[in-house]
Structure 1
Amino acid sequence: MKVAIFASNMNFFEEIYKEICKKHEVRLFVEPVVNLPFGRSRIHNILRKKQMTKLMAWADVSFFEWADQNLVDATKYNKHSKIVTRLHSYELTTYADIVDWTKVDRVILVSKIMQKRFLDKFPNYSNARTSVINNVINVDKFNIPENKTLNNNLGVLSSLVPVKRLYDLILAFSEIKKEKPDLKLIIGGGEQIGEKRYPMALMELIDKLNLKESVIFEGHIDDPHEWFKRIDIYISNSYWESFCVSLHEAMSSGCYPLVHWWSGAEEFVPKENIYLHNHELKQKVLDYYSSDENIRKDESDNFRNLMVDRFGEKKQLNEIIKVLESV
């Protein structure tokens, strides 16, 4: 089978791409580059359309990783192949309204909550043409380190953007620290292009709270596997998530998860690990550190086993390929 791949961002897609390449003939769309002093945009659009339509005419299936501008443009052109897309999250509120969904044969959603959001927004799209397939988690890479010990570190791995509610988490942490002064909050992840005010506000907040020694911003993390080894409790304090890859990698690495009740959180962690208010987060953190060492170890093992059951043996990779082959 000939598969054309359109991926504006390879995040969360590298392993899937490699697996598709093993089993089928694949061509990857490359955005044309135009280096001219004038008419650059017009010429780029002409070349882009020509290359996209040529590639889709070659393919049996065109796969769009992210339901973004690539998919918008593809559904404007004459249809030459089956079209499958994987919609993650932000596309639902940015690009989805201008996609011609009548030309899209299958939509892969990364969670049940994203499937519900999609079908609520597009009720005429057949539920039978959607599939829920979680993101791929490499449970062989993310595992519990030998002789894991407490480090008194709470951790978050995310971009410094409002949706992650890091500002609110720092305020909550300041209250938790009054009860347990040796705690630190480690934040991995950098600024997002175009978002400067939020990172500045975070720095100003820790200055006001006198937490410069306790709230540590570590910027972009090149090796999350090593980073998770230092984290006892991983906190997802977002108000919106579709899946939250870092949360699952943390659980696979033996971190104890605490998750704000964003819609769909119960799909991934037990009710006992979900909080709504800051005082609930505080109590859950303190309870964890006051619990017996054997209980904490059992919790780590249980979450690790849960991840292996869900993501081991290339389950998600095989499910995605099955969709491509059956469309």
Structure 2
Amino acid sequence: MKIGIAINDTWSFFNEIYNLIKSSHQTTLFSPQKSNFPLFNTRINRKYYRSQLNRFLSSNDVVFFEWAGEYLAHATALPKQCGIVARLHRYELYQWAEHINWEKVDRLILVSQAKEGEALTSFQELNGKTLVISEGIDLQKFPFSPQPFRKQLGILCHLTPRKRVYELMIAFSEYNLAKDGYILHIGGGEHPKFKDYYQSIKALISNLDLENSIKMHGHVTNSLEWFANIDIFISNSYSEGLQISPMEAMASGCYCLSHAWPGSNELLPADNLFLTNAQLNTKIRSFAALSETEQLDQKKKLRTIVENKFDIQIVGEKILREIESVGNKFV
């Protein structure tokens, strides 16, 4: 089977899946080239791009679009020539979905039931075409290594307003966690589109006089090493697809709490979710009050969840089966 792969966003969630597909099928990656015509460059490049995309679609039995975004919108504007399978993570639903001709998509994979529900509510033509396959992580890269409790809290993410790091810092201050010996670690560097947010976070640390209790680590290149210094990992977003960093933290041996963004209940048990800052504070202190054995039991339960639901090998195999199922109709 000839399988085409089109991806125009980060490869962060796809490397293992791509290697699995490539190991069992003839695989081609869509890599459009630009022309070098000096005159009418934009118009010619647009036509050249459409021509390349059209040839790419016609030369494969099925094309998998990692991210239901720009490439998928362009592909579904062309005559249908092959099977089309796409995976929608989160942002595409709000920025690209209305530009996609869903009639030409054979299967849409979503990473959570919450996002599937949103998609089906907005686009009735997707009825019967969707299924949920969660995100996944490589468990071999994140061995279970729980540490004794040291009052170390952490959040690891892109520093954008959606992640609500600023609000987490205010909660940390309001509930006197610093005075009780807690440290809040922030992993993530300045985002090019939200430089003001990064600067605001830095200013807030100073304004709260918490330089010794809130630590900014910048871009984290070795997340396993970073997790080893965290006792409780916190996700404070208001919207996610199905966030990867909590999975990695849980696998590594961190306890994990999350704001109850839609779909968070597919990631964590209800006892690990909070809506208000007061609930977050209570859950932090409740976990701290447990015995070391009880804390370890809680961490083991979270590791088991990751093993059962978010193993990238199992996730990849499920995605490959869907691609093959659609591709078989076009061979």
TM-score, normalised with respect to structure 2: 0.94
- The residue number in structure 1 matching 2:79 is 78
- The residue number in structure 2 matching 1:58 is 59
- The residue number in structure 2 matching 1:293 is 292
Q: Runs of 4+ in structure 1 displaced over 4 angstroms?
A: 34-38
SS in 1 for 2:268: coil
- The residue number in structure 2 matching 1:117 is 118
Deviation at 1:95, TM superposition (A): 0.5
Structure 2 contact 148–292 (Cα < 8 Å) conserved? no
Alignment of 1:264-283 (within 5 A): 264-283=263-282
The amino acid across from 2:158 in the alignment is S
- CA deviations 1:164-198 (Å, max 9, x no partner) are 11111000111333475321111111222221221
Alignment of 1:53-202 (within 5 A): 53-126=54-127, 128-145=128-145, 148-178=147-177, 180-202=179-201
Give the 3 Å change call, closer, same or farther, for CA 31–223 of structure 1 in structure 2.
farther
Deviation at 1:222, TM superposition (A): 1.1
Q: Distance in 1 between matches of 2:278 and 2:235?
A: 15
Deviation at 1:122, TM superposition (A): 0.7
Q: Which moved more, 1:212-221 or 1:270-279?
A: 212-221
Give the 3 Å change call, closer, same or farther, for CA 244–208 of structure 1 in structure 2.
same
- The residue number in structure 1 matching 2:303 is 304
- The residue number in structure 2 matching 1:39 is 40
SS in 1 for 2:139: coil
Deviation at 1:47, TM superposition (A): 2.1
Structure 2 contact 112–241 (Cα < 8 Å) conserved? yes
Q: Distance in 2 between matches of 1:181 and 1:137?
A: 34
Cα RMSD between the aligned structures? 1.6
SS in 2 for 1:314: helix
- CA deviations 1:4-33 (Å, max 9, x no partner) are 110112120101100000111000011324
SS in 2 for 1:84: strand
SS in 2 for 1:222: coil
Q: Distance in 2 between matches of 1:237 and 1:206?
A: 17
SS in 1 for 2:181: coil
- CA deviations 1:66-106 (Å, max 9, x no partner) are 01110111011111111111000000000100111111110
Corresponding position: 1:210 with 2:184: no
Q: Distance in 1 between matches of 2:177 and 2:254?
A: 23
RCO higher in structure (CA 8 A, sep ≥6):
2
SS in 1 for 2:234: strand
Q: Which moved more, 1:106-115 or 1:306-315?
A: 306-315
Q: Which moved more, 1:248-257 or 1:43-52?
A: 43-52
Identity of aligned residues (%): 38
Structure 2 alignment gaps of length 5 or more: 327-331
